[in-house]
């Protein structure tokens, strides 16, 4: 690690300690405070700013509370208590050993437990990527706890007639697909733990970010992991500083990748243990936000996504797509994302 990188991380740690110890107030620092709470039987680190109605910001893979650094301040300034946890398996939050400890019942229970731990009756959810998946399910499994949802990048389809993993295996057969790769025990985490900067820098890019040619182009699964198939990044996108990337890398260097990968290992289990969700619709207010170039939405426009979501959501209050923006929407387009979230919040009673 370069000296200036190490120093910046040390300064950030000192700064956060000063906030936690009360030497610097949150208002003066304009930085979130970080602390550990107990929720659903685990210790969870949360970042928080502001006072008012509770808004929980739920990150995806491979991310952390830091993915919401731009939203925490904006929500706090708008009069909300913004809370961004390190989800189970990430950062300074506990990392249970059992794969089943990362199923959707545990993950949604963690969010419900945050509400209780903070002494609130309910909360609004904002979820991105896997955080959106968990949040969609939390709206259904804990409707008494969550009053509204801003979902990002991953729309809800309802509970399918068959296991999603079975469908992926039929679709990809012997070809490489990262979610199927993640089903192989200790393969992906061993690869990523050995090179956290390599995987993160190849993922945290915009759609037009330049890349080197991939080292491996054979589509067959073979014995090759994911990093050689992606093509290394040529520089950083303009929305990600070197300090930002260093922080993410330091977090995953310490925590490892297994916890987050275990979310994917529960796709089949989640389907098995939630038959009660068949045909259920989300009744609370919802908005959907994504980048137009996000591969997850598969090129669908706002009208197509609206029609799709109206099949599973009773109170859809809008679909917002940002041109030329990819998957990391709240980091790639923070001001636009903040405006869309706040506009949605203003529609709530």
Which residues fall within 8 angstroms of residue 10, CB to CB, at 6 or more apart? none
Token readout for 252 is 């995953």
Say which of 106, 128, 142, 327 is annotated catalytic.
327
- Which of 233, 205, 203, 232 lies closest to 216, judged by CA? 232
Residue 268 falls in the annotated catalytic set: no
Q: How far apart are CA 8 and CA 213, in angstroms?
A: 32
- CA gap 57, 47 in Å, rounded: 10
* Predicted pLDDT of residue 3: 33
Q: How far apart are CA 309 and CA 304, in angstroms?
A: 9
Asked if 86 is an active-site residue, the reply is no
The per-residue DSSP string of 117-171 comes to HTT-S-EEEEEETHHHHHHHHHHHH-TTTEEEEEEES-------SS-HHHHHHHH
Closest CA to 140 of 103, 89, 104, 114: 104
Contact (CB, 8 A) for 81 and 50: yes
Cβ within 8 Å of residue 84, ≥6 positions away: 32, 46, 47, 48, 56, 57, 59, 65, 67, 68, 71, 72
185 closest CA partner among 281, 293, 258, 288: 258
CA Rg, the chain, in Å? 19
Q: What pLDDT score was predicted for residue 73?
A: 98
Residue 72 makes CB contacts below 8 A (sequence gap 6+) with: 32, 47, 48, 49, 50, 57, 82, 84
In this prediction, residue 87 carries a pLDDT of: 98
Would you state the pLDDT for residue 30? 80
Sign of CA dihedral 289, 292, 293, 295: positive
Contact 3, 18 (CB under 8 A): no
Task: Measure the CA–CA gap between 86 and 193, rounded to whole angstroms.
Answer: 18
Catalytically annotated residue among 86, 94, 110, 129: 129
Q: What is the pLDDT along the chain (349 residues), one digit of tens a residue?
A: 333 333 434 444 444 554 445 444 444 458 999 999 999 999 999 999 999 999 999 999 999 999 999 999 999 999 999 999 999 999 999 999 999 999 999 999 999 999 999 999 999 999 999 999 999 999 999 999 999 999 999 999 999 999 999 999 999 999 999 999 999 999 999 999 999 999 999 999 999 999 999 999 999 998 899 999 999 999 999 999 999 999 999 999 999 999 999 999 999 999 999 999 999 999 999 999 999 999 999 999 999 999 999 999 999 999 999 999 999 999 999 999 999 999 999 999 7
What does the pLDDT read at residue 5?
33
Quote the CA–CA distance of 100 and 114 in Å, as a whole number: 20
Determine the Cα–Cα distance for residues 214 and 173; give it in Å rounded to an integer.
22
Closest CA to 288 of 315, 267, 324: 315
Distance CA 138, CA 282 (A): 10
Q: CA–CA separation, 212 vs 210, rounded Å?
A: 7
Alpha helix stretches (DSSP H) within the chain? 3-21, 26-29, 69-77, 104-117, 130-141, 164-172, 178-182, 187-194, 196-203, 227-230, 242-255, 258-264, 267-272, 302-310, 329-332, 334-346
57 sits in the region (left: phi over 0; alpha: psi -120 to 50; else beta) called: beta
């Amino acid at each position: 690690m370069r000296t200036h990188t190490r120093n910046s991380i040390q300064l950030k740690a000192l700064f956060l300690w000063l906030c936690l110890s009360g030497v610097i107030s949150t208002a003066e620092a304009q930085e979130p405070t970080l602390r550990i709470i107990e929720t659903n039987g685990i210790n969870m680190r949360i970042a928080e700013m502001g006072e008012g109605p509770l808004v929980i910001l739920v990150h995806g893979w491979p991310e952390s509370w830091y993915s919401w650094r731009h939203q925490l301040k904006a929500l706090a300034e708008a009069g909300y208590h913004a809370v961004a946890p390190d989800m189970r398996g990430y950062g300074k939050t506990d990392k249970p050993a059992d794969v089943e400890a990362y199923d959707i019942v545990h993950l949604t229970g963690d969010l419900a437990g945050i509400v209780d731990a903070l002494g609130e009756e309910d909360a609004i959810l904002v979820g991105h990527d896997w955080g959106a998946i968990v949040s969609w399910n939390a709206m259904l499994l804990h409707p008494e706890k969550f009053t509204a949802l801003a979902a990002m990048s991953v729309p809800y389809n309802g509970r399918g007639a068959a296991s999603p993993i079975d469908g992926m295996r039929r679709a990809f057969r012997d070809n490489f697909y990262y979610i199927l790769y993640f089903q192989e025990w200790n393969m992906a985490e061993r690869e990523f733990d050995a090179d956290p900067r390599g995987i993160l820098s190849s993922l945290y890019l915009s759609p037009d970010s330049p890349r080197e040619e991939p080292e491996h182009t054979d589509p067959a699964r073979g014995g090759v992991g994911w990093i050689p198939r992606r093509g290394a990044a040529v520089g950083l996108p303009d929305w990600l500083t070197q300090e930002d990337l260093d922080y993410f890398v330091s977090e995953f260097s310490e925590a490892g990748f297994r916890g987050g990968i275990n979310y994917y290992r529960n796709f089949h289990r989640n389907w098995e243990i939630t038959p009660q969700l068949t045909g259920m619709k989300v009744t609370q207010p919802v908005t959907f936000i994504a980048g137009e170039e996000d591969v997850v939405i598969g090129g669908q426009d706002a009208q197509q996504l609206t029609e799709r979501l109206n099949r599973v959501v009773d109170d859809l209050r809008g679909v917002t797509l940002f041109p030329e923006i990819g998957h990391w929407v709240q980091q790639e387009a923070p001001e636009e994302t903040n405006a869309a979230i706040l506009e949605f919040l203003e529609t709530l009673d």
